[in-house]
Amino acid sequence: MVSPAAVAVYADHSSKISSSLPSTHTMQPGAEPIRVLVTGAAGQIAYSLLYSIAKGDVFGKDQPIILVLLDIPPMLPVLDGVVMELQDCALPLLRDVIPTDKVEVGFKDLDAAILVGSMPRKEGMERKDLLKANVAIFKTQGAALDKYAKKTVKVLVVGNPANTNCLIAAKSAPSIPKENFSCLTRLDHNRARSQVAMRVGVPSDSVKNVIIWGNHSSTQYPDVHHAKVNNHGKEVAAFDAVKDDSWLKGDFISTVQQRGAAVIKARKLSSAMSAAKAICDHMRDIWFGTPEGEFVSMGVYSSGNSYGVPDDLIYSFPVMIKNKTWKVVDGLEINDFSRGKMDATAAELVDERDTAISFLGV
């Protein structure tokens, strides 16, 4: 998370700490390193995330990495400590670590950008003020992507409000395809999957094809009408495996919707370990594709969808991924119960978008 100063900082600050890791490695010659940016890099989500990326859990066990860590100037001393720890892990895939607060350094020649940093909502802050602050941050970061990153860069927005922040970044980077931008709803997806698995008494990987529709907010719709559960070797519909329709249409949905708040109430901190795991899952699926017959949830550009969701939103859909390209899963039957919830979360996103866009020219 970043402070209010971030709005100006992302645009203006120009100091840099440079740091290199030893160049000795065990990789085959010819494997070119990819450049991966993490923003909000001194924060707790990044602290849970960076080791997994640097170890090869996301982009592959034979893919060298240059990690670029962006944060605001007051966090640079903390970031230096993170760099020291990454060095001390002695990870053979990690070729370089570049901590910086300069967008021209942070966004240069990127293959992947994971935008974790955003303005958190403070007590007493109006929603429109939160949107305005984040529009400033993500307009700047989108413009930096447009100017400095590779046109093939894959951009994942994590910082909240993630869907609308992602939309603003995409609109601010007109030379990068909008399909290259996505926001994180995989944490919600994983929460839904785990809730069903615990209810049935099976491992979480025995549950597939849950869906998160819409916004990464409490209006999201966790949908298991198309989910399957492998229950002792037999694949059955989730409703048949759970055998409790009122739970699936009631407490299950509210538990997933409110899970982030429940973690904050218990830990006094927002989800970090589970968020980092979801980021890894999301980016790994973009890089390597989804398993045959399975789909995952991602916030992606809505234009042209077949589910009646308004165009020009970043909305979470079920997607399949192949060759680093996502495709919304079409043809799923939507009942009246689902339709109402999908429309409600879309309405919230339209309202967020319209408010945010009103700030774009400011």
Alpha carbon distances (Å) from 137 to 54, 76, 212 = 26, 18, 26
Are 165 and 124 in contact, with CB atoms under 8 Å apart? no
Q: Is 127 annotated as a binding residue?
A: yes
* φ, ψ for residue 73, nearest 5 deg: -55, -40
Beta bridge mates, 106? none
Q: Is 191 annotated as a binding residue?
A: yes
Torsion of CA 187, 163, 215, 119, to 10 degrees: 80
Helix (H) or strand (E) holding 134: helix 127-148
Q: Is 305 annotated as a binding residue?
A: no
User: Residue 60 contacts by C-beta under 8 Å, 6 or more apart in sequence?
Assistant: 287, 288
Q: Cα separation of 216 and 220, whole Å?
A: 6
Rounded to 5 degrees, φ, ψ at 188 are -65, -40
Residues carrying an active site annotation: 216
CA atoms in the 13 A half-sphere facing the CB of 306: 10
Does residue 160 have a known ligand-binding role?
A: yes
The C-alpha atoms of residue 264 and residue 222 are separated, in whole angstroms, by 20
CB atoms within 10 A of CB 311: 10
Question: What DSSP letter does each residue of 287-337 carry, written as one string?
Answer: HH-PPTT--EEEEEE-TT-SS-PPSS-EEEEEEEEETTEEEE-------HH
Mark the binding-site residues for substrate, compressed into ranges. Answer: 121, 127, 160, 191
Mark the binding-site residues for NAD(+), compressed into ranges. Answer: 71, 134, 158-160
Mark the binding-site residues, compressed into ranges. Answer: 71, 121, 127, 134, 158-160, 191
